[in-house]
Amino acid sequence: MKLRIAVAKYGQETNSFSLGRTTLDTFRQFGLYQGVEVLQEGMKTGPLAGLEAACRDCDFAWTPIPMIRGWGGASGIITEYTHQFFVNSICDSLANSQKLDAVFLDLHGAAQAEHLDDCEGDIISRSRTLVGPEVPIVVALDHHANVTELMCRDATAIVAHRTQPHEPFDTGYQAGLILIKHLTGAIKSTMTYRKIPMLTHQEQFLTGTEGPMKRWFEMARAFERRGDILSVSPCPMQPWLDITEAGWAVIVVTDDDLKLAKSVADEMAEFAWEHRKHFMRQESVDPKTAVQMALQSEQFVVLSDTGDSVFGGAPGDSTILLRELMQVQCEQDCLVPMVDAEVVANAYEAGVDSGIRIIVGGKLDSVFSQPVEMECEVLRLGGGTVEVEVIGNDAYDAGRSALLRSQHILLAVTETEGIGGNHPICYEQFGIDVGRAKLAVLKTASNFQYYSHFNPQIIRADTDGMTMSSVQRFPWKRLTRPIFPLDEM
Ligand SMILES: [Zn+2]
């Protein structure tokens, strides 16, 4: 007999300080599917694909009951209407379905709506109310989640990403294995969590490079290898979520052993707290120095715009590095992504090969950067849906796009933020040979993986913006204090 498992994806990482709002249109940029479309289009990558693979590898016969699939990237607070759209879709599916054996939710964990701080807790608890206490609800999260009491109260098991850069497929696979073992009676999933009163900037977030994050995640894997612990998920929350319950956490899942789960959670939390200052070590340098270092490098350079990370919810239109690059001479191309719908419209109106004078950037984030005036040549026009596997998705749509040149600067301008130049496809779609450029500005502080085959030197610029490393400078209002590093502890 095939077991019936209801599946849904609702993912968005909220930046509380971002000025924009996240709507259903934001989700449509990365593919928003309902009902049977979820099976056709929404299970090719990410945790849902991982769940499917786990079932296949375990010879576990199941029928996925599709609900909804939406990914909104990282952006501002979700509108009440948008969150309610997902709630209604999931609740209607659960309420109208025939008997269900389980629910599998692929969520982010740091989504905030206008009327609600804990979008994922809301989804999980509403699901619990509808399916009753016995049906397992297993959840895959991004580990930059803000783990809450409500999520842990009503989920049967939660597994977060095991690496940064993330491998969402693996997260779904691990969560799937726990669900299968629980459904077949091999285990009785038991979960606990610990909050840690800290938040840190993203510069130490990579789990593969030497540093405290690598050690913390290795500690989690070592616990799992012991055999008596099913899953340990360290969750270093993304540092721009201004809600009362915000902060780091760790989640532990065992086979019916709450005492063991609690002691492992305590040990994991202690490590994070003891190394808190190490997690705050900053490597970025001021923008002028960063550009000078890049020009002097023998290698291709990834120049990370840490303050304007579109994967952290910043708008992707900061001009701080563009201004610095305009001040220097360079024989090779410098690739710069920019979000500016007005400039795209200007370029389309003028047409390919024409010269235009633009006032670009600094419009969405007018707090930390200002528009720049430039004379450019329109090299190419394009855009639309781009099929590429990036951060757990298989396509994105940043609207219309234009490639402009101003001396050594190649500006890829898009109507919306999309993936912020964080994948070479942003230039390759226009026929640019990225490996021949001097540098590429990336709108991320840690997702450099799509450029790794160019063997780049990574230089982080300490730029001001909605995702800046100086977390102390954000206008925190609702965060529960005291918290490290904002307060004396
Ligand atoms: Zn993440």
Dist. CA 3 → ligand 1 center (Å)? 31
pLDDT band at residue 403 under the 50/70/90 scheme:
very high
> Is the pLDDT confidence value at 392 over 80?
no
The CA-CA-CA angle for residues 70, 73, 79, to 5°, reads 70
Task: Give distance in angstroms: CA of 208 to centre of ligand 1.
Answer: 14
- Find the 211 Cα to ligand 1 centroid distance in Å: 18
Q: How far is the CA of 429 from the centre of ligand 1 (A)?
A: 26
What are the domain boundaries of the chain? Answer: 3-279, 287-468
Cα of 250 from ligand 1 centre, angstroms: 15
> Is the distance from CB of 307 to CB of 463 less than 8 angstroms?
yes
Secondary structure (DSSP) of 74-140 = EESEEPHHHHHHHHHHHHHHHHHSS--SEEEEEE-S---BTTBS-HHHHHHHHHHHHH-SSS-EEEE
Cα 144 to ligand 1 centroid, rounded to whole Å: 5
Q: What is the mean pLDDT of residues 174-200?
A: 98
CA of 340 to the centre of ligand 1 (A): 25
DSSP E strands in 164-264: the ranges are: 189-196, 229-235, 248-255
Quick one: pLDDT at residue 489? Answer: 86
CA of 253 relative to ligand 1 center, distance in Å? 20
Average pLDDT over residues 456-478: 97
| 105 Cα: distance to centroid of ligand 1 (angstroms) | 16
Residue percentage of the chain with pLDDT more than 90: 95
Residue 301 parent element (H or E): strand 301-305
Centre of ligand 1 to C-alpha 321, Å, is: 24
Q: Tell me the residues surrounding ligand 1 (ion) with CB < 5 Å.
A: 142, 144
143 C-alpha to center of ligand 1: Å?
A: 6
Q: Say how many Å lie between the CA of residue 248 and the centre of ligand 1.
A: 13
Distance 240 CA to ligand 1 centre (A): 12
Going from the Cα of 379 to the center of ligand 1, the distance in angstroms, rounded, reads 34
| Dist. CA 393 → ligand 1 center (Å) | 13
The total number of residues shown for the chain amounts to 489
Question: For residue 445, what pLDDT is reported?
Answer: 93
User: 29 C-alpha to center of ligand 1: Å?
Assistant: 19
pLDDT of residue 193: 98
Distances 275 to 169, 201, 206, 468, 486 between C-alpha atoms, Å: 30, 14, 15, 21, 16
Q: How far is the CA of 293 from the centre of ligand 1 (A)?
A: 28
Minimum mean pLDDT among 37-41, 109-113, 189-193: which range?
37-41
Residue 303, CA atoms < 13 Å, CB-side half-sphere: 30
CA 102 to ligand 1 centroid distance, Å: 26
Q: How far is CA 19 from CA 164, 315, 329, 416, 445, in A?
A: 27, 9, 34, 14, 20
Q: Which residue has the higher pLDDT, 47 or 488?
A: 47
Q: Give residue 142 CA to ligand 1 midpoint distance, Å.
A: 5
In this prediction, residues 287-295 reach a mean pLDDT of 98
Kindly give, in sequence order, each residue whose CB lies less than 8 Å from that of residue 274, ignoring residues fewer than 6 positions away: none
Task: Locate 326 and state its tokens.
Answer: 């305009």
Quote the ligand 1 centre to 456 CA distance (angstroms): 22
Amino acid identity of residue 164, one-letter, is: Q
Q: 115 CA to middle of ligand 1, Å?
A: 23
Distance 106 CA to ligand 1 centre (A): 13
202: CA distance to ligand 1 center in Å? 10
**How sure is the predictor about 1, in pLDDT bands with cuts at 50, 70 and 90?**
confident
Mean per-residue pLDDT, 202-214: 96
Fold for 3-279, please state it: Rossmann fold (3.40.50)
Please say if the pLDDT value at position 259 is more than 80.
yes
Q: What pLDDT is stored for residue 252 in this prediction?
A: 98
Token duo for residue 176? 């799937």
- The stretch 359-367 carries a mean pLDDT of 95
pTM score, two decimals?
0.94
Instruction: Give 164 Cα–ligand 1 centroid separation in angstroms.
Output: 7
Q: What is the pLDDT of residues 235-252, one digit of tens each?
A: 999 999 999 999 999 999
- In the reported structure, the alpha carbon of residue 217 is separated from the centroid of ligand 1 by a whole-number distance in angstroms of 14
Using the predicted structure, report yes or no on whether residue 317 has a pLDDT greater than 80: yes
Strand partners, 397: 385
Distance between Cα 236 and ligand 1 center (Å): 9
The average pLDDT across 88-117 equals 98
* Res. 393: pLDDT tops 90: no
Cα-to-centroid distance, 140 and ligand 1 (Å): 12
Distance, in Å, from the CA atom of 485 to the CA atom of 247, rounded to the nearest integer, reads 11
CA of 166 to the centre of ligand 1 (A): 7
